[in-house]
Structure 1
């Protein structure tokens, strides 16, 4: 008689293990494309503010083209120059408007850039209106491939 009781106890354990496995697999599901794009924007903003140009440039596509013919290398140089010239860099984005188009997106936002010596108030402040093109590349990461900005 002990055998049937042992068998009854094993089944709930198997069921619990199966439920736990399903919960773990559900947690591994990829986030929605727009959410991943917004996370990439946040990561790039943090990299700039935390003075990590290599991490910032990872979000820029190899074939980037920007205002006045700016390419990826020029963006990298601009970021490094600004980090050398300013002890503190700040980038605050306003509301972000995202238009999704399969594995591409158009993102519009305003950004206020600050820079300076690290004192309480920044030495320089400039606002820009930005329109940018993004795509999900082969490695699954969103990268900016086009940008245009105008002083606001």
Structure 2
């Protein structure tokens, strides 16, 4: 009986959705992997329709920027530092540092840039969507 109760609890835990912060962290990790795997569509799946970034960048401009970088660089690297997540209901702010690299595929990247990034996220129909981003060198 105790074994059955334990298995039932494990089954319920496995079926439950992760906490909002854990889901957000997983989404950011998936975006990082999609950048490195050169999958702009996977990145854009997590970007809100009304996205706004530095310099007036909108969602389409972000998508174009990704495509240009993927065409210009055989290898893309995206390394992000620890995430500082602040949740406020169905909104979140995530701060982190990022090192972006690109190159011809040789051992040493041709270009690299370090950034401090602040992003804004909101829950839309149960999914986190990136709706704003600011970055500086």
Q: TM-score range with shorter-chain normalisation?
A: over 0.9
CA offset digits 1:17-68 (Å, max 9, x no partner) = 5653443122111111111100000000000001111001111111101111
Comparing both structures, which one devotes a greater share of its residues to strand?
A: 2
User: Do structure 1's residue 71 and structure 2's residue 48 form an aligned pair?
Assistant: no
Structure 2 partner of 1:137: 124
TM-score relative to the length of structure 2: 0.94
- In the superposition, relative to structure 1, how do residues 23 and 76 fare at CA in structure 2: closer, same or farther (>3 Å)? same
Task: Measure the CA separation in 1 of the matches of 2:36 and 2:9.
Answer: 39
TM-score relative to the length of structure 1: 0.85
Count of residue pairs the alignment pairs up: 137
2:20 to 24, 30, 33: 33
User: Do structure 1's residue 109 and structure 2's residue 90 form an aligned pair?
Assistant: no
User: Do structure 1's residue 45 and structure 2's residue 32 form an aligned pair?
Assistant: yes
User: Do structure 1's residue 95 and structure 2's residue 88 form an aligned pair?
Assistant: no
Runs of 5+ unmatched residues, structure 2? none
Pairwise CA RMSD of aligned residues? Answer: 1.4
Comparing both structures, which one devotes a greater share of its residues to helix?
A: 1
Task: Measure the CA separation in 2 of the matches of 1:26 and 1:58.
Answer: 27
Runs of 5+ unmatched residues, structure 1? 1-11
CA offset digits 1:51-108 (Å, max 9, x no partner) = 1110011111111011111111111110011000000000101121111101111111
